[in-house]
């Protein structure tokens, strides 16, 4: 569970960076979705 949380937090941080850089909602959604799929 701890490892999964770390991955989720790391993915969220990456998503935030991309949003600030590109301001593309689809990009952050795709990244978060991918992170959730990979963590399962």
Sequential pLDDT tens for the chain (40 residues): 566 677 788 888 887 887 777 666 777 788 888 888 876 6
Per the listing, tokens 């990244």 go with: 31
**How many angstroms separate the CA atoms of 40 and 28, rounded?**
19
Rg from Cα positions in the chain: 10
Structure tokens at 36: 């959730």
Following CA atoms 8, 40, 3, 36 in sequence, which dihedral angle do they give, to the nearest 10 degrees? Answer: 0
Q: What is the pLDDT of residue 23?
A: 66
First to last CA, the chain: 11
* Predicted TM-score (pTM) above 0.85: no
């Amino acid at each position: 569970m701890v490892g999964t949380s770390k991955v989720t937090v790391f993915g969220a941080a990456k998503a935030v960076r991309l949003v600030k850089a590109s301001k593309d909602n689809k990009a952050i959604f795709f990244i978060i979705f991918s992170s959730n799929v990979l963590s399962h």
